[in-house]
Amino acid sequence: MHTLIIRTRNRPDWLEKTLLDYSKQRHPYPIHVEDDSSGDAFLRNQKTVSLYQNLLDVQHYEGFGRQEDSRANRVLKTTRKSLERVKTKYYSFQSDDDLFFASFVEKSIEFLDKNLDYSCVIGPEAKVFYDNNLNVVKTSPKYWHGCSQNDPLDRVFSYALNPTLPYYGVCRTSMREHLNKVEKITGRGCFQRENTVNFEYYDEEIPWCALVYLSGKVKYFPGAVMGVRGIHDSPDRVERMHKNRKLKAYSVGPIFSLISPTAPQSILQSHQDLETLVKVCNSKYSDDVIDDAIMRFLWHFIRQYSGNGLLSPEIDFCAKKAKQGGKSFFRRLVRAIYFRQQRFSAKIALIKSKSLKIYLKDK
């Protein structure tokens, strides 16, 4: 019925903790551990999985992108191959620091079996914050959005304006047929990077989320918790990789990729993949409309991520601003008052300006 795909890399402690949690939950569905780990971490994960095979239907696979130097390439190749390994009607992706609830699977499959125009079911998650010893510090809710648009292009723009993480929900495995059709048309792996630069923030998740939206409607169950999203300070979390100045694509942002000689080819490949997917999924829109829309879609996501932004610690002014930081009510209030004062002062200056009066009088 359902396969849970857990992607992991060099975090054996987290994988061990997660499999322990699934065993306590008595997770009844197949689990595929797609492992991009190196060296000892890979061997340790292999041993951990074998220890749980008498409690869970769990298999350990070497990630197809394991040998790739680029994180984004690893994720792209391993994600694509992991879909091919699924033998069940439905699947979900999860990270090694998250937890998916089997109770959500049952309810979702019941809905999807009756509503063939939907490709996925998602629900709210519990964001669980851990300290360095993996102890729970606090929890908070994380909600998502559904989408009931009929056309695939409308749906993918709904995703752009109301982002979710649908491939972490319960998805139809049949949508991989859309990938197969695209690959037959383009002659290369869909969403894969071959001899071109990566757009790290875009490549890791957005193409796979777009696939779900293009394949069908997305149902949101607001009253059914989908699972747990682990939040912690590990430096290898994508949200924190911008702090590593050696990883220019993350610390500087997409400008680092855009100045690469292969950037145009990379963008063209992404455009071709999405454009072909929209057509394969039977959009009503003309080729011109689809072409323009996909360009806007790509730029919307590529430009969103700015790495460290302007708050560079090497620049005194920026470092000072970064230290001030914070989004407290008091800071927002002070900032709002400051800008109101500046606006008011500028208005007074305009009123008093003799040069402006003369200019406007002549007009």
Predicted structure pTM score:
0.86
Q: What is the mean pLDDT of the chain?
A: 88
Span 152-178, average pLDDT = 95
pLDDT value for 343: 76
pLDDT at 358: 65
The span from the CA of 239 to the CA of 299, in Å, is: 20
User: If DSSP states are collapsed to H, E and C, what string results for 144-156?
Assistant: CCCECCCCHHHHH
Record the tokens describing residue 346, joined without a space.
């500028």
Across the range 331-342, mean pLDDT stands at: 77
Domain ranges of the chain: 2-302, 319-350
Exposure string over 185-217, b if 16+ CB within 10 A, otherwise e: eeeebbbbbeebbbbbbbbbbbbbbbbbbbbbb
- Determine the average pLDDT of the residues in 344-356: 73
pLDDT digits (tens, 9 = 90+) for 195-254: 888 888 888 899 999 999 999 999 999 888 899 888 877 766 666 666 666 777 777 788
| Domain 2-302: which CATH number of 3.90.550.10, 2.60.120.260, 3.30.70.20, 3.40.1160.10 | 3.90.550.10
Higher pLDDT, 45 or 305: 45
Percentage of residues in the chain with pLDDT exceeding 90?
A: 59
The pLDDT, as a whole number, for residue 264 is 93
Instruction: Return the pLDDT at 187.
Output: 94
Q: Does 153 have pLDDT greater than 70?
A: yes
Top-confidence residue, 122 or 338: 122
For residue 335, count other CB atoms closer than 10 A to its CB.
Answer: 11
**Residue 1 pLDDT grade (very low, low, confident, very high; cuts 50, 70, 90):** very high
Residue 42 has pLDDT above 60, yes or no: yes
d(CA 54, CA 7): 21
**DSSP H or E segment with residue 3:** strand 2-8
Please report the pLDDT score of residue 30 as a whole number: 97
Residue-by-residue DSSP string for 142-210: E----B--SSHHHHHHHHHHS---GGGSEEEGGGHHHHHHHHHHHSS-TT--SSS---HHHHHHHHHHH
pLDDT at 329: 67
Angle between helix 71-85 and helix 200-215 axes, rounded to 10 deg: 30
pLDDT of residue 135: 83
Q: Over 90: is that where the pLDDT of 51 sits?
A: yes
Mean pLDDT calculated for residue range 312-327:
69
The rounded radius of gyration (Å) of the Cα atoms in the chain is: 24
Judged against a pLDDT cut of 80, whether residue 112 lies above it is answered with yes
What is the mean predicted confidence (pLDDT) over 145-154? 96
Residue 29 has what pLDDT? 96
Interval 15-34: pLDDT, tens: 999 999 999 989 999 999 99
